[in-house]
Amino acid sequence: MQTPVPPFVVIDGQHEAKLRNVPEGLIAEIMPSWEIRFNLQENPCMWFDPETLACQHYEHRPQACRDFEINCSSCHSIRDRCGIGS
């Protein structure tokens, strides 16, 4: 599964991005798409840099991304399915 928007969640009524002290400019960048995220096509995350194959804002990534172990078999499987090199 790909998500075009960083997969932040709402925790006890608070947006995870705010709880993680994500800069306001980055929050403003994702909010329009975050509000409609379930209606968007599956695409690489807007924070994914196809040149470096890495997150542009790694230090501010959501818990879902933190829980997804880098270089694990699931990671390779999804990257292969999406045509993203390892």
Per-residue pLDDT of the chain in tens (86 residues, 90 and over written 9) = 578 888 898 989 999 999 999 999 999 999 998 888 878 888 889 999 999 988 999 999 999 888 877 677 877 776 777 677 65
Contact (Cβ atoms closer than 8 angstroms) between residue 26 and residue 58? no
Neighbours of 32 (CB within 10 A): 9
Name the 3-class secondary structure at 37: helix
pLDDT of residue 86: 57
Distances (CA, A) of 29 to 5, 35, 52, 65, 83: 10, 12, 21, 18, 26
CB 12 within 8 A of CB 67: no
Residues 35-46 have pLDDT tens digits of 888 788 888 899
Amino acid at 69: E
pLDDT at 43: 86
Confirm whether pTM is higher than 0.95.
no
